[in-house]
């Protein structure tokens, strides 16, 4: 596997146009271990975006989404922290297991779909990026995002369903990326979630960061809970385990917390109520888009499978409402934008919508409740 990457546009294009074959992933991991990311040439985001757009020139343009301003009080005295949450759809699952009956296989080609994913990330420029279903971490996201200035962490599922798919690219898992120029890593924990005292196939990453500008500490976590109807109690147990871990990490809510995830749970489920009623005093940021501030969006995923149409709210950004303010949130795609064939599509690379919020620290850090 060739690991060195130049910084010219032509060499950048070769990085985008050629991902490693699945057989080369382990070699690539070894190679990345030998390279200090600081030695890799930095990437200009504009150059990467330009290369993505070259690859995508035959596809329809990216959907327009607008931020909704949610902050009612005075402006913060520091730059907001932009957090992006997204289940990007594992490539092996999209091609081999998910059966999106209205999505042409051509729309799922990795060479183009990865550019749609990167284009979405580059458009919103998150300070912190939380992803689920990442199965191209070592050959795509780590090498590219580290050169954009992000510190990268990946925690794969122990028994990823991707491994059942022929020509897979390794296991999928959760990934977290934060801009090193804005934050310092204080502590990092990879958490394998338990349910009924048994270790499960679902994971989380929790990192305590220090904001360079304010000196404030906060914890950011990413997770992906068990899917499917009939597993509600299992998800509830996983949620309880994650909350207990986060209580320990945040010293019982002394450290502000943001939790991003695909919870695979509607707001009617018990795991949602556990997070809403937790002693960590969490609120769901996307509720603030509703007129009364009390209702989740009507959907965060919308797809058509052989069993029928699936339109659900499963993805959330939870935050410590005593310590953090939500300045703005990215509006969701409309039904008209999504179109009759739903997601994924030639326009949009995943069956889940990305969620993006701008947070600021409360000006009274000692007021906990």
Among 214, 255, 252, CA closest to 360: 214
pLDDT at 15: 56
pTM of the shown model: 0.91
Over residues 146-171, mean pLDDT: 96
Answer yes or no: are the C-beta atoms of 150 and 129 closer than 8 Å.
Answer: yes
pLDDT at 38: 52
**Residue 24 pLDDT greater than 80, yes or no:** no
pLDDT at 74: 57
pLDDT at 20: 42
**SS3 category, 281:** coil
**Residue 223 pLDDT greater than 60, yes or no:** yes
User: For the chain, which domains are there?
Assistant: 83-364 (3.60.10.10)
Q: Edge-to-edge strand order for the sheet containing 315-320?
A: 183-195, 198-211, 217-224, 257-262, 315-320, 282-284
**Residue 33 pLDDT greater than 80, yes or no:** no
**DSSP string for 305-321:** ETTEEEEE--EEEEEET
Integer angstrom CA distances of residue 276 from 191, 239, 251, 314, 321: 21, 11, 19, 14, 11
As a whole number, the mean pLDDT across the chain is 89
Over residues 252-271, mean pLDDT: 97
Give me the sign of the Cα torsion angle 137, 138, 143, 144. Answer: negative
Over residues 37-49, mean pLDDT: 84
Predicted confidence band at 191 (pLDDT cuts at 50, 70, 90)? Answer: very high
Among 199, 256, 197, 207, CA closest to 226: 199
């Amino acid at each position: 596997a060739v690991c060195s990457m130049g910084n010219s546009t032509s060499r950048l294009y070769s990085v985008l146009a050629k991902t490693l074959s699945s057989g080369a992933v382990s070699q690539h991991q070894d190679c990345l271990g030998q390279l200090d990311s600081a030695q890799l040439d930095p990437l200009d985001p504009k150059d990467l975006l330009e290369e993505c757009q070259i690859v995508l020139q035959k596809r329809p343009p990216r959907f327009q989404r607008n931020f909704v301003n949610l902050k009612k009080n005075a402006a913060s005295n520091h730059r907001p922290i932009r957090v992006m949450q997204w289940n990007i759809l594992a490539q092996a699952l999209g091609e081999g297991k998910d059966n999106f009956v209205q999505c042409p296989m051509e729309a799922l080609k990795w060479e183009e779909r990865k550019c749609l994913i990167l284009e979405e990330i580059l458009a919103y420029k998150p300070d912190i990026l939380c992803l689920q279903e990442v199965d191209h971490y070592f050959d795509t996201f780590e090498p590219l995002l580290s050169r954009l200035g992000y510190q990268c962490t990946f925690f794969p599922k122990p028994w990823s369903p991707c491994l059942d798919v022929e020509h897979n690219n390794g296991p999928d898992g959760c990934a977290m990326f934060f801009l090193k120029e804005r934050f310092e890593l204080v502590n990092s924990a990879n958490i394998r979630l338990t349910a009924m005292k048994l270790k499960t196939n679902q994971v989380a990453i929790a990192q305590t960061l220090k904001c360079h500008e304010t000196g404030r500490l906060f914890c950011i976590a990413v997770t992906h809970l068990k899917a499917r109807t009939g597993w509600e109690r299992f998800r509830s147990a996983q949620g309880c385990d994650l909350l207990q871990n986060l209580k320990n990490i945040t010293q019982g809510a002394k450290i502000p917390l943001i939790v991003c995830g695909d919870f695979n749970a509607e707001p009617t489920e018990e795991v949602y109520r556990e997070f809403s009623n937790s002693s960590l005093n969490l609120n769901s940021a996307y509720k603030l888009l509703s007129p009364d501030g009390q209702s989740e969006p009507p959907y965060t995923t919308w797809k058509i499978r052989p069993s029928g149409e699936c339109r659900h709210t499963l993805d959330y950004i939870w935050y410590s409402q005593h310590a953090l303010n939500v300045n703005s949130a990215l509006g969701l795609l409309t039904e008209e934008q999504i179109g009759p064939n739903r997601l994924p599509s030639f326009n949009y690379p995943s069956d889940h919508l990305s969620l993006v919020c701008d947070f600021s620290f409360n000006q009274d850090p000692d007021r906990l409740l």
